[in-house]
Structure 1
Amino acid sequence: MAFNSSSGYCTGILQSFVSNLTSSYADQRNEASMVATSVVMFALATLFFNLNLFSGLSDMSAILNPSVRFFLSTSLSLFLPVMSYLFSEAKNEESGNNAGWTTTETELSFRARTILLWMLLVELLRKKVEAILVSVPGGYSGSIERAARIAWLGYLVFHNIRSAGKRALYGALWVLAAAKLVQRFVTLELGKRSFAYGKNPQLCAAYMDQILHEEQEQLLVDNNNNNNSNNGQQQLRGSELLKSCNYVVMGEEDLEKKAGPRGYRLILIEPITIRGQMVAKADSTVVTVGKIWNTEKMTLLFQKKQDPPGLKRLCLSLALCKLLRRMLEGFPITPLESQHCHRVIFDGLCHCQDDDDAAVALFQVLNDEVQFLSEYYHSVHPVVFSSPFFFLANYVLFPVVVSALCVLTAILSGYGDVLYAVHSFKNDNYVVANSVLKMTGCLLSRIAASPVNLFSAIDVFITMLLFLAFVYEEVWELIVFLLSNWFLVSLLCSHVTATSSTPAAGSGRILVGWAVRAILRVRRSTLMSRPSVSFKHFSLLWFCRLSWAPNTRAVPTEAKKAIMERMATNKPLSNGSASTLLQSSHHAELSWACESDSIADVILTWHIATVVLEAKQQQQNTEMPAAGASSAGGDRKVATALSGYCAYLVAFQPELLPDDKDGTERVYNDTMAEMKKKMGCWAYYCSTQEARVGKLMEIAAEAHDDTASTALRKGARLGKALVEKDRAHVWKLLAELWTEVLTYAAPAAGELHVKAHREALAHGGEFITLLWALATHTGIARPVATAGSVV
């Protein structure tokens, strides 16, 4: 149908609708406020729509950027009061216009109803910026605030709207908002009181303490009974060790427990043995890492080939996540647990594959663990509660109940007359009686006639955007839920614990197997695949470009392998001096670059030297020697990647380094200020690579032993020394040094350092957060520094 100013459809059926819509703009007394309201609402609706659309297409994370969430929360905190004032203004304006014509209460103006509709839709979208915090202790201020908003909106709807059909429509939206409030409150309260979620740290602390001590006692008994024993469990490696691992994955809330003066005491179903006998019986709902690795059902889940090992490692990630979360909430990891976890990770997980594959597997486990932890503390979707039961309750039964309540609201709005309610709902609402696209077409056809028609069309477009954003958000929440790691692990555990041989149970296992395979197929697609382990890369010297933001690179496999091998050893950590000591021929002339009590100073010194060496070799454009070429290439890749990441930490994430944040920032700012002074203002912001390297070589020539006190001077002097050395040997030295420096910076340096890593989880965590988690699990720590010592 063609829509134009002379269309009989527009001038006939929609004449009253369009005239009502544009009448508020025709009255110029409040023109400024109405136009401003439309503009602000258009911006807000566009932001919500784009946020839902592009955040969904970019990744599958349930985490919203904290900066965006803070901005939206601040904006929405003023939304309801401001819009309530504008609603009252629109309502009073209509009442004033009709004061001389009638003494009865009239229906709300179209402008007032539009504002009320916006308020309801924004309230439904507000959950996008509210994290689902299961572990927040006590406090109901947030719930009370949300309940007050819902109650106020209910008053506005049922006190001001007279028409039965309109009251049914607006009442249904209010019922949906109120039902979601109740749903959220009940979910969070049950989660806080559940040993699977809110009380899980206390339970895990008791669980780990008890099973490890009983395991140690059993080991001592067996050794005493058989002096010739070679400690069978100590000889276990790879998958055999993981089959004996009793770290709980799911179902621990079903364990029998008793509260005591020092926490909970578990009543285990059967004793632990050194051969990895399960905590629970085979028909129990408790799932451990050992049960996942032992079961043949994982293989039966994939009919044509063996199950992907990534699924077993995903379960291990969740088990480690529960242990790390317990530490973050005040239950420290014991030395006995650290020793045990060190063996599980480095003797078990890392011995299941070849060296390169083992490093990739290890960091994927750590990455998934940090992702679990990030979603637990900062998710805006209920992925933490993922399970088949929650899916049925939240996404099947809940919509049915809400639909019934909406129908009941419509019937009550029609005073109990069902036929009258149906006819009123259709006749009183233009959107139901006529297509919203047809109404929009009529408005668009009249835009050129008057600016009033333009703003009226914008109001309709705002409403459509808000409604589409809400629908998209609901659909995307379901998709994120179904494709989340939490739901996948829940399905795997359900499959593993299914023991019944009834036909119904067999059908259930088939359905679970089909669901797991479907999820894996979808997640392997381009849009739904999760990102690999990556980190940011930054250079202090080559920052003249359009964007100051550091780029993101995948962590090289060689770097993962080097870090894994270094952290698997029991050698004391150092700030790089240990790597120079290994190269005895270079120790005397290079160890001075590590003689600093500031890790930031050491990082900047060696970073500048590494970048100078890399640039000089690129300028020379010579071929790598044939002997050891592959090894030197791998060492160079490790050194340059870790150097750039450490520089990024100094420049952008100083709180994640063990030094004091202010001290790290001072070292960085002093270095950049000196660089600007030496190079000049123009060259500092824009100069070629050759010019910068040349200037650094001049600085190196001036920097004698007594003057090379700053990071820039020491870095230039060190870079000049490295350029003169054998290429293959120097890259091997740098690869070892940067591996040492990064592992030295990983362990926690106190409560503030732990807090910084926890806050980094809001962004999904940094690469060094993975290393911090690994160091925390395995008990790796820096040597205690004495006054005036350099480690």
Structure 2
Amino acid sequence: MTMGLLAGDGGGGGLGYNTSCGKTSGLVWNLTSSYADQSNEASMMSATVIMFLLAALFFNLNLFSGLSDTSAILDPKVRVVLSKALSLFLPVMSYLFSEAKNAGGLACGGAAAPELPLRARLILTWMLLVELLRNKVEEIRMQRGDDGWHRGTVERAGRVVWLGSLVFFNLRGAGRKSVLGILWLLCVAKLVQRVTFTLVGKNSLAYGKNARLIISYMHHVPHHQPLQQQHGDDADHGDELLQRCRYAVMGEDKLVNKPTPAGYSVTSDITTAPTTTTVGKIWRLAEDDPFLASVDQDGRLRRLCLSFALFKLLRRSFEHLPPMSEAETRDCRSLIFFEGGLYCSSKRSNRSNGQGEDEKAVAAAEELFQVMKDETIFLSEYYHSVVPVALASPFFLLANYLLLPAMVLLLCLVIVVLCGNGDVPFAFHSLRSDNYSVSFGVLRMARCLLTRVLSSPSVFFSTIDLSITLLLFLVLVYEQVWEFVVFLFSNWFLVSMLHGYAAKPRWRRSATFNWAIRRMLWVRSKMSHPDITMRQFSALRSCRLSRQLRMVPAVSLTLPTIPVPKEVKHSIAEYLLLSATSLQEEDDCDPTATRRGLLSNGQLAVAEYAELRRACKSESIAEVILAWHIATCLFEEKFPSPHASPSRDMVVATTLSRYCAYLVAFHPELLPENEESTERVFEIMEEDLRRTVGFWRYHLPAAVAPLLGSGYEQIMRLEERPNLAQALEMAEMSALQRGAILERALEKEAKCAAGVEGMWKVLADLWVQLMVYVAPSGGEEHVMGHAKVLPEGGEFVTVLWALATHTGMRRAAPVAVGSMEHV
């Protein structure tokens, strides 16, 4: 009855519409007429609900993606959800499209409708818009050997062909066919665009084949001895090693003569090749060129180019290629840590005035870890980006964002003319006459609908459908703008611009280029730049649910996440410097020896304490971590910081303790031992904790029943043995028992000459050593573990792993079980 009244409202006066709003009555009736048949009501309602949820999801996903250095990546958990939803979308909506088409035929008295019903056209519009939004979900895969993209491309091509058949075989009006035909053409353009990205990337020496090319390139890079060996330890060499660095930034693909059985034949004159930009060339140019020196006063651009060069070196680890040679790791170690390299030159020439030596060292550590963080961002964006940032260059900007849209616009005009059977005036006139939203105007139609949205169910449903369509259009426009902004202000495009500036002298004389660089840097300074973060997990304080459901990926997101404290970065950087020096000494004594440096599971930190040293002798690194984590938590409870801000050593010890415990609980694949063994150690510790504190105190939320405090004494009663040395050597003890005993030993030492601060210093050194010890993992399983966490934002241990890989830090390979039985 309501729909009949609305359809009969010609002038609109009876319903409160103005004269022009009366034209909307027929639209509302046509859009909601399928609900008249109650057998189709559920199908029509399902279409609206599905599209509302999907449109809201895409809207929120785009709205909160943010403009940051990692916004080219979509979180893999979100991608999985969207991929599964979109895989079911086309068949479900195709069925609902058929239902709407048939319902329109029934509404016309059972006769074949001369034109596709409005409801079916709306569903078809939704299907085309969602197909255009798939780019937000699909990664751009350019790595060699990854042939999985063929299947996805064929599936997407099949969807596009199916949608084209629905458009051109069901629509009759020239104007309606033109509008939906343009949307279909955009789907085709997006498909061709993605296929082109993949094929060009996979077959390019600058992208897909670059990892193999870099191996051949590095054979021609001259090796240098550390500068302190050449000129003496006390000489100030500035950044001489960086200025002489031949690591390729861009343009090395122009040096290839031909492929060979061993790789690629590269011209031997790589040091003077004008088309190739190296780290040293950028570093020297920043010192000599007035413009580059003015925009790179803090060295951020130079360090970004170094990160890009290191990213190219690290790609071979992810693509199953030969690792860096000993000579290459020795050079990289010198470049990063020794005199004339990154860390030491940053400490000597930090540009902040009035800084003391400690402040300069902290700033140098920040710069070192920012270089490694940028490298991991390059890695994650190369392998998991949904935006073509890896192809970023001025030429690609012109081709993809200027020439391609112009070509698509021309094809859209052709589609309009073809839909009008070649009659140009008729074709363009029908665009307005056959499409009510074009002739009447979307805003006027929305205003008319809103005046009746609360009083008429038909208008209410029409308003929802219109809102969904507008929301999808807005999301589509936003996604295109978002992609362009992310591309334009990405690290990739900035490195490409610097390569052009270094390799093409005419760019240095261009006022346009200088203006563009300054504007880019100004905008980037206003954008968010993610810091290195670490999650914090306490076996005694964190939520019990997060522990019990630790294998569910989303649960780890509930844990607190903090930026890595500068004290932690400084302590680890200083320890890595000592380790690099030790590695260099090992190399001087025996060039064939296995490089280990100062890798220690904490024994070096407690070498002076016999009772504590025994706790580090376990074969399982997970047992060592959990035992010392329990001891650190209990020691913190016993001796909290007397000041508002804890001491440096306390910050280092507590944050690294909680992060290492988080790795054991949530990412055992990143630790240097069997994943199942790590999980078993953690489960034993949990079971022991549950028995110790009781069922209710263990399972209730931490805010209701905190484990520490009232449960502290129960845990400490685990240590009832007077002989600590004998207790620590008992293999059957759990990590919780070992931790309680260790805390007693720490408390005993703290009451002696060492003092509380002295023991916090011991704990800080121990956790730094443990953190560095777990980082270097060259096994295939561990490398794939790091690759898995890259699109999730990466882990701090992945940054350390990359640094360890570059500098040649390795642990001795574990002895296989049973390997000694036949000796």
Q: Take 2:13 and 2:316, find their aligned partners in 1: how far apart are those partners? A: 64
Q: Kindly tell me: are residues 259 and 459 of structure 1, through their superposed partners in 2, closer, same or farther at Cα, counting changes over 3 Å?
A: same
Cα offset for 1:516? 2.2
| CA contact 2:34–2:107 (8 Å) conserved in 1 | no
Note if 1:18 corresponds to 2:47.
no
Which one of the candidate residues 408, 432, 441 is aligned to 1:402? 408
Q: Secondary structure at the match of 2:64?
A: helix
Letter in 1 for 2:328: E
Is 1:318 paired with 2:312? no
Residue in 2 that maps onto 1:426: 432
Q: Which of 597, 607, 613 is 2:635 aligned to?
A: 613
Q: Secondary structure at the match of 1:579?
A: coil
Work out whether residues 118 and 463 of structure 1, in 8 Å CA contact, stay in contact via their aligned partners in 2: yes
1:200 paired with 2:193, answer no
Give how far 1:623 is off: 6.3
Which residue number in structure 1 is paired with residue 675 of structure 2?
Answer: 661
* Alignment-derived partner of residue 525 in structure 2: 524
The offset of 1:296, in angstroms, is 4.5
After superposition, the C-alpha distances for 1:420-444 in whole angstroms (9 at most, x for unaligned) are 1221101111111122232223333
1:411 aligns with 2:417: yes
Cross-structure match for 2:276: 286
Secondary structure of 1:241's aligned partner: helix
Residue 178 of structure 1 and its aligned partner are, at CA, apart by 0.6
Q: 1:378 to 1:100 in 2, by over 3 A?
A: closer
- C-alpha distance in 2, partners of 1:91/1:788? 67
Does residue 634 (structure 1) correspond to residue 648 (structure 2)? The answer is yes
Point out the more displaced range, 301-310 or 778-787: 301-310
- Which residue of structure 2 lines up, in the alignment, with residue 443 of structure 1? 449
The count of aligned residue pairs is 746
* Superposed displacement of residue 572, structure 1: 3.6
Q: 1:4 to 1:377 in 2, by over 3 A?
A: farther
Look up the match of 2:810.
Answer: 781
Residue 739 of structure 2, aligned match among 694, 715, 719: 715
8 A contact 1:249–1:319 mirrored in 2: yes
Structure-2 change in CA distance of 1:463 and 1:3 (3 Å): farther
1:350 corresponds in structure 2 to: 343
Asked if 1:28 is matched to 2:47, the reply is no
Correspondence for 1:274 = none
User: Any gaps of 5 or more consecutive residues in structure 1?
Assistant: 221-228, 271-277, 625-629
- Counterparts of 1:591-606 in structure 2, within 5 Å, are 591-606=613-628
- Residues 658 and 749 of structure 1 are in contact (CA less than 8 Å); yes or no, is this contact kept in structure 2? no
Q: Paired residue for 2:715?
A: 696
Give the letter for the 1:511 counterpart.
T
- Alignment partner, residue 108 of structure 1: 116
Cα deviation code 1:271-291 (max 9, x no counterpart): xxxxxxx6234xx22100010
Task: For residues 458-510 of structure 1, give each alpha carbon's deviation from its aligned partner in whole angstroms, at most 9, with x where no partner exists.
Answer: 1111111111111111110011111111011111111122213xxxx566x32
CA distance in 2, matches of 1:123, 1:433: 26
Q: Distance in 1 between matches of 2:69 and 2:493?
A: 17
Question: Residues 67 and 101 from structure 1, CA distance in 2 versus in 1: closer, same or farther, beyond 3 angstroms?
Answer: closer
State the alpha-carbon separation in 2 of the partners of residues 64 and 453 from structure 1.
37
Separation in 1 of the partners of 2:642 and 2:567?
23
* 1:47-71 deviations in Å (ceiling 9; x for gaps): 0111011113677521111111011
Change (3 A) 1:579 1:18: same
What's the CA shift string for 1:695-746, capped at 9, x where partnerless? 2222234696566611001101111221231112101111110011011100
List per-residue Cα deviations over 1:99-127 (Å, max 9, x = no partner): 6657xx61100111011000100000011
Question: Contact 2:285–2:292 at 8 Å: present in 1 too?
Answer: no
Question: How far apart are residue 176 of structure 1 and its match?
Answer: 1.0
Which of 325, 336, 339 does residue 327 from structure 2 map onto?
336
Q: Does the 8 Å CA contact 1:444/1:457 hold for their aligned counterparts?
A: yes
Q: For 2:177 and 2:745, how far apart are their aligned partners in 1?
A: 81
Partner of residue 177, structure 1: 187
CA spacing shift, 1:415–1:623, aligned 2, 3 Å: closer
Q: Secondary structure at the match of 1:691?
A: coil
1:632-688 CA-partner distances (Å, limit 9, x unpaired): 921111111111111111111111111211111111121112111110122223434
CA contact (8 A) 1:132 1:382 kept: yes
State the distance in 2 between where 1:233 and 1:437 align. 76
TM-score by length of 1: 0.89
Structure 1 residues 458 and 599, CA, compared in 2 at 3 Å: closer, same or farther?
Answer: same
SS in structure 2 at match of 1:259: strand
SS in 1 for 2:619: coil
SS in 1 for 2:74: coil
- Give 3-state SS (helix, strand or coil) of 2:812's partner: coil
Cα gap change, 1:106 to 1:723, in 2 (>3 Å): same
* Counterpart amino acid of residue 91 in structure 2: P
State the distance in 2 between where 1:524 and 1:374 align.
22
Give CA deviations for 1:162-193 in whole Å, capped at 9, x if unaligned.
Answer: 10111111111111111111111112211111
Distance 2:612 2:133 in 1: 59
State the secondary structure of the residue aligned to 2:618. coil
Q: Distance in 2 between the 1:182 and 1:152 partners?
A: 16
Structure with the bigger RCO (C-alpha within 8 Å, sep 6+) is 1
Q: Check whether the contact 1:45–1:466 (CA below 8 A) recurs between aligned residues.
A: yes
The 2-side partners of 1:558 and 1:716 are apart by 27
Task: Map Cα deviations across residues 219-272 of structure 1 (whole Å, 9 max, x no partner).
Answer: 89xxxxxxxx9746998954101111100001111113222121112122x3xx
Runs of 4+ aligned residues of structure 1 deviating over 6 Å after TM superposition are 232-236, 545-548
Contact 2:69 2:491 in 1 (8 A): no
1:730 corresponds to which letter in structure 2?
A: M
CA drift of 1:18 comes to: 1.7
Whether 1:578 aligns to 2:604 is: yes
- Letter aligned with residue 564 of structure 1: A
Secondary structure in structure 2 of the residue aligned to 1:75: helix
Q: Given that residues 233 and 241 in structure 1 are in contact (C-alpha distance below 8 angstroms), is that contact kept between their aligned partners in structure 2?
A: no
- Residue 239 (structure 1) aligned with residue 239 (structure 2): yes
Amino acid at match of 1:170: L
Q: Give the corresponding residue for 1:687.
A: 705
Give the corresponding residue for 1:376: 382
- Alpha-carbon shift at residue 613 of structure 1 (Å): 1.2
Match of 2:317 in 1: 327
SS of the residue 2:258 aligns to? strand
The answer for the alignment partner of 2:689 in structure 1 is 675
Give the alignment of 1:37-76 within 5 angstroms.
37-56=47-66, 60-76=70-86
Counterpart contact for 2:140–2:384, Cα < 8 Å: yes
Q: Which amino acid aligns with 1:716?
A: A
User: Is the contact between residue 501 and residue 508 of structure 2 (CA under 8 Å) also seen in structure 1?
Assistant: no
* Aligned partners of 1:143 and 1:185 also within 8 Å: yes
**Residue 25 of structure 1 contacts residue 452 of structure 1 at CA under 8 Å; is this kept in 2?**
no
TM-score, L = length of structure 2 = 0.86
Q: What displacement does 1:454 show? A: 2.5
Cα 1:401/1:695, change in 2 over 3 Å? same
1:506–1:531 CA distance, 2 compared to 1 (3 A): closer
**Match 1:133 to one of 118, 130, 141:** 141
Segment of structure 1 superposing worse, 560-569 or 308-317: 560-569
Indicate the larger mover: 540-549 or 188-197.
Answer: 540-549
Q: Any conservation in 1 of the 2:37–2:103 contact (CA below 8 Å)?
A: no
SS in 2 for 1:21: helix
CA gap of 1:164–1:703, structure 2 versus 1, over 3 A, is farther
Separation in 1 of the partners of 2:127 and 2:443?
A: 22
Which residue is 2:567 aligned to?
Answer: 558
Correspondence for 2:169 among 143, 146, 159: 159
Equivalence map 1:483-562=2 (5 Å): 483-500=489-506, 505=507, 509-525=510-526, 528-544=527-543, 549-562=558-571
Could you tell me whether the CA contact under 8 Å between 2:693 and 2:715 is conserved in 1?
Answer: no
